[in-house]
A and B are shown apart, each in its own frame.
Chain A
Amino acid sequence: MPILEVENLSISFNQYTSSFKQNNIQVISSLNVSLEEGEILAVVGASGSGKSLLAHAILGILPDNATISGTIYYNGEVLTASKQASLRGKEVAFIPQSTNYLDPLMRVGNQVRTSVKTGDATAAQRAVFKRLHLQPTVENMYPFQLSGGMARRTLLSTAIVSDAKVIIADEPTPGLDPVVMKEALNNFREFADNGCAVMLITHDIESALTIADKIAVFYAGTTVEVAPVEDFTGDGEALRHPYSKALWRALPQNDFIPIPGSQPHPSALPTGCLFAPRCKEAILECGKKQPEMRNLRNGMVRCIHAT
């Protein structure tokens, strides 16, 4: 049974376009994704495809003007707002993107200690800093004094000390040099090997492939495909969705061929399959109705052509 399951999740925002006109923008539509214990799921997709919002929705920290529909299950139970509040920081840990997520006026050691829920906070913080090769002096520093790598490791240590079962990491790698990046990714692998479930949100497919078990491909606010990592190979013939294939082929080490067009803006989504306007295989039926997510060859796909 998956520890975390997201079913038909849709998120929309109420926005004032002018002082009296409200606009409802759907940023995530009928999204499905599931997370197993001991597994790393990499969520990949272009910027603006709604990846971070997925993380915020699972944690229940979306802004007030967001409307959510669909269901999230945690351990088989429906994840309600009050349940989310009690799980945050205890069973579900979040690793944010940058130093901006650390309180600028609080020493980082103290910030890590606030994540410790049981036992000696100081000892736990020192142990994790040692494990991540952070100097003992770092705990007395303020966020502005940290280098990019140090900040990343500090954020990571907040998740480690929390003993969470589910870890959601939002873009944990950009801006890191290859050595530090590898180390960070190995930490995630270690989490998973210790029985945690890890959701790795990233636009860096390449590094995601090195550690993930499954890849969920995001396009315009929904998952178009969930595939085991082994399928990302060769020309991408094992992949199920035309967008995943195109994404794979666009990588520099593969064919390096981009497809024309760009991801539609959430305020101007096409009626049928979201990818249809850019898809070479699109037929009349694709433009009518968004295809359902269906199981296919040990993965999932949202395309009527896929075999």
Chain B
Amino acid sequence: MRKNVGRKIGIFLLLKGLRMLTLLVAICFISFLLVKNSPIDPIQAYIGADMLKVGPEQREKIAEYWGVDQPVMVQFLNWGSALLAGDLGTSMIFRRPVADVIGERFINSLVLMLTAWVLSGVIGFVMGVVSAMKKDTWIDRIIKWYCYTLASTPTFWMGLLMLIVFAVWLGWFPIGLGVPVGVLAEDVTIANRIEHLILPAVTLSIIGVANVALHTRQKLVEVLASDYVLFARARGERGFTLFWRHGLRNVALPAITLQFAAFSELFGGAVLAEQVFSYPGLGQATVEAGLRGDVPLLLGLVIFSTFFVFAGNLIADLIYYVVDPRTRESRML
């Protein structure tokens, strides 16, 4: 039977892989077209301020050298085949290969996003559970009020508030960036990095809490009103035992799934938070690439974030598939 499960999961992953492939192709094509039709002139973006020194003939030469004068489809295929060979191109802002830039920035972002993800997941889940177990009491009201307020708070505004209070007024944390200013790269300590990480991570977590908490609350309220909880109560169960035996079991899976599926929001939040805190992560790189017309980097980031969000959703699906007995064992029968 176990072998059978392994094979089923294999097929499941294969299908998901195919879906991701088609998604990536579509995303590549659409973003390529969008960039192509945007007012960004790749030659101007490349040359920058020296544009005045470049004559029309030189311009045409560059266009010809890059293949910008060819039809759109040919350009797309040129770019696509380079992409398939693993060449994402060279970032114009950083003057380095796009893959290197994304790799380095991703490490920075990963620490930030992971911290925020774990914090918001755990705190949000606990808040949701407390709120549902104490439904309609003052504590439930406070948690709900807090969540509704946060759910309608823009990340960048929250970030600014945090900066004003904790960095400017109280001076507890540095005002921005990922490492201290004026210190050699080799002298930067882990403590320095953590110090710079705290404010953006907390900002992201505070915002992320609302979603998980409200969802968990709603789900647990439903579970507590269900027939099987009524029956459990009829058999003498109550309070924490009741939650532990029936509540947690039925509410944990949706919460974990939701948290994985929220990768996209995490990424979106990181873009704004990193911008506010000038934190050198993927999000900030995305804003830079967009504002300064760095087409190769922008496209690379689009592909990468697609991959990232898809992975989150895939993990969510997989967890359901493997953990929930209703999907796991019905496939075994």
A joins B in a complex: yes
Binding site for B on A (CB under 8 A): 56, 59, 61, 85, 88-90, 93-94, 96, 98, 100-106, 114-115, 142, 144-145, 158, 162
Which 10 residue pairs of A and B lie closest in terms of their CB atoms, listed nearest first? A89-B236, A89-B235, A101-B231, A94-B234, A100-B227, A88-B236, A142-B325, A101-B227, A103-B228, A105-B249
* Main secondary structure on A side of the interface with B: loop
State the CA gap A37–B301 with chains docked (Å).
75
Q: How far is the CB of A60 from chain B (nearest CB, A)?
A: 9
Contact of A144 with B330 in the complex, beta carbons under 8 Å: yes
CB within 8 Å for A94 and B326 given contacts A105-B249, A106-B246, A114-B245 = no
- Chain A positions within 8 Å of B227 at CB level: 96, 98, 100-101
Known: A85-B236, A145-B333. 14 other contacts (CB 8 A): A61-B233, A88-B233, A89-B235, A98-B227, A100-B228, A103-B246, A103-B250, A105-B324, A106-B245, A114-B245, A142-B329, A144-B326, A144-B330, A162-B235
Contact of B230 with A101 in the complex, beta carbons under 8 Å: yes
Select A88's contact among B226, B235, B253, B333, beta carbons within 8 Å.
B235
State the CA gap A115–B232 with chains docked (Å).
9
Q: How far is the CB of A174 from chain B (nearest CB, A)?
A: 15
- Chain A positions within 8 Å of B232 at CB level: 103, 114
Contact of A85 with B238 in the complex, beta carbons under 8 Å: yes
Binding site for A on B (CB under 8 A): 226-228, 230-238, 245-246, 249-250, 253, 324-326, 329-330, 333
Select B235's contact among A56, A104, A115, A145, beta carbons within 8 Å.
A115
State the CA gap A100–B232 with chains docked (Å).
12
Give the residue name and chain of the A residue nearest to B250 (CB): A105
Contact of B228 with A104 in the complex, beta carbons under 8 Å: yes
Select A89's contact among B237, B326, B329, beta carbons within 8 Å.
B237
Instruction: List 8 contacting pairs A-B, 8 Å CB cutoff, sorted by A.
Output: A93-B235, A96-B234, A101-B228, A102-B228, A103-B250, A115-B235, A145-B330, A158-B235
Q: How far is the CB of B143 from chain A (nearest CB, A)?
A: 20
- Chain A positions within 8 Å of B246 at CB level: 103, 106
Give the residue name and chain of the B residue nearest to A91 (CB): B236
Contact of B231 with A106 in the complex, beta carbons under 8 Å: no
- Chain B positions within 8 Å of A56 at CB level: 230
Q: How far is the CB of A187 from chain B (nearest CB, A)?
A: 18
Contact of A61 with B235 in the complex, beta carbons under 8 Å: no
Contact of A106 with B249 in the complex, beta carbons under 8 Å: yes
State the CA gap A158–B230 with chains docked (Å).
14
Most chain B Cβ neighbours within 10 Å, of A85, A94, A105: A105
Contact of A145 with B249 in the complex, beta carbons under 8 Å: no
Q: How far is the CB of B287 from chain A (nearest CB, A)?
A: 43
Select B237's contact among A100, A114, A145, beta carbons within 8 Å.
A114
Contact of A90 with B326 in the complex, beta carbons under 8 Å: no
- Chain B positions within 8 Å of A98 at CB level: 227
Contact of B245 with A61 in the complex, beta carbons under 8 Å: no
State the CA gap A144–B326 with chains docked (Å).
7
State the CA gap A102–B245 with chains docked (Å).
12
Give the residue name and chain of the B residue nearest to A117 (CB): B236
Give the residue name and chain of the A residue nearest to B248 (CB): A105
Q: How far is the CB of B273 from chain A (nearest CB, A)?
A: 36
CB within 8 Å for A145 and B329 given contacts A101-B230, A103-B246 = yes
Q: How far is the CB of B238 from chain A (nearest CB, A)?
A: 7
Contact of A61 with B234 in the complex, beta carbons under 8 Å: yes
State the CA gap A187–B326 with chains docked (Å).
31
- Chain A positions within 8 Å of B326 at CB level: 104-105, 142, 144
- Chain A positions within 8 Å of B233 at CB level: 61, 88
- Chain B positions within 8 Å of A105 at CB level: 249-250, 253, 324-326
State the CA gap A103–B324 with chains docked (Å).
13
